[in-house]
Amino acid sequence: MNQLVKIINSLTYKELKAIQKDLAEGNMGRLIAKKISSIEKSASFNDKTCPTCGNKMNENEARYTLIFGSEIKKKASFCGHDCLTFFINKLKVQHLNH
Ligand SMILES: [Zn+2]
């Protein structure tokens, strides 16, 4: 959202009026939906690599998915419980060292 505020603040009056019109007509929503759909269909979005063992999986094969982070959310998918546990232990060690 912060990035969007920066973009909006950098726009001219004319550009803002054009975006306002696009929002009112629903063009912006359609554009965002189209972009999200194309990202979700891409191979790189659907093919996951287990960060612990490097195993390649597709969305259905990922047995555990971890979403972590506060401001910036990170998502990691794991092929098994052992890989998830190893990753969490690694995070714990990193946390203790900071
Ligand atoms: Zn793994």
Phi, psi of 55 (to 5 degrees): -65, 130
Phi, psi of 78 (to 5 degrees): -120, 145
Q: Ligand 1 centre from 7 Cα, in Å?
A: 39
β-pairing, 56-58 vs 64-68, is unpaired
- Choose among 45, 59, 55: nearest CA to 79: 55
Tell me what the pLDDT averaged over the chain comes to.
Answer: 87
Q: Using CA atoms, how far apart are residues 73 and 94, in angstroms rounded to an integer?
A: 17
Q: Given this model, what pLDDT does residue 46 score?
A: 74
Mean pLDDT across 13-31 = 93
Q: Ligand 1 centre from 46 Cα, in Å?
A: 16
Q: Ligand 1 centre from 98 Cα, in Å?
A: 26
pLDDT over 90 at 34, yes or no: yes
